[in-house]
Amino acid sequence: SAAKYGGLFLKLATKMTIAGGALYVACDYGLLGSSEQGSKALEKAKAALPPAIEEWMTYLGLELPTMPKIEFSPVQAWNSGVRWTVAALSDAPTKATEYTNQGWRYLKDLTK
């Protein structure tokens, strides 16, 4: 049984190490900062990834199709996501009241 717990501990330690490493990298690259920091980090990644992928594909002897050009603005996506979230949170009390009233009406109609 001690081996079983040792295996569980090893799995947990491995997962915690990976999660900690991912969090460190995200913080180090500025992914958890402002939208402008995230945009800069994305630009760094876009500049670093193609040479790295090309090197690995050459090493492995594989060939990838050309990547399509994608126009994406993380700043705009971030801002629209924040606006949507704030709007949903501000509507939450009203919606909760509406849904509660609808539920009560439904229950009253069932008991008639």
Predicted confidence (pLDDT) per residue in 2-28, tens digit: 667 777 888 888 888 888 887 787 777
User: Is position 81 within any domain?
Assistant: yes
- In sign, the C-alpha dihedral spanning 64, 69, 71, 75 is positive
Which residue matches tokens 């990834």? Answer: 49
CA distance 29 to 43: 11
State the pLDDT at residue 101: 92
Range of the domain at 97: 72-111
Distance CA 14, CA 10 (A): 6
Asked if the structure places residue 89 within a domain, the reply is yes
Task: Establish if 48 belongs to a structural domain.
Answer: no
Asked whether residue 91 is assigned to any structural domain, the reply reads yes
How many structural domains comprise the chain?
Answer: 1
Looking at the whole model, is its pTM more than 0.85?
Answer: no
| pLDDT tens digits, one per residue of 23-54 | 787 777 776 777 777 777 777 777 777 777 77
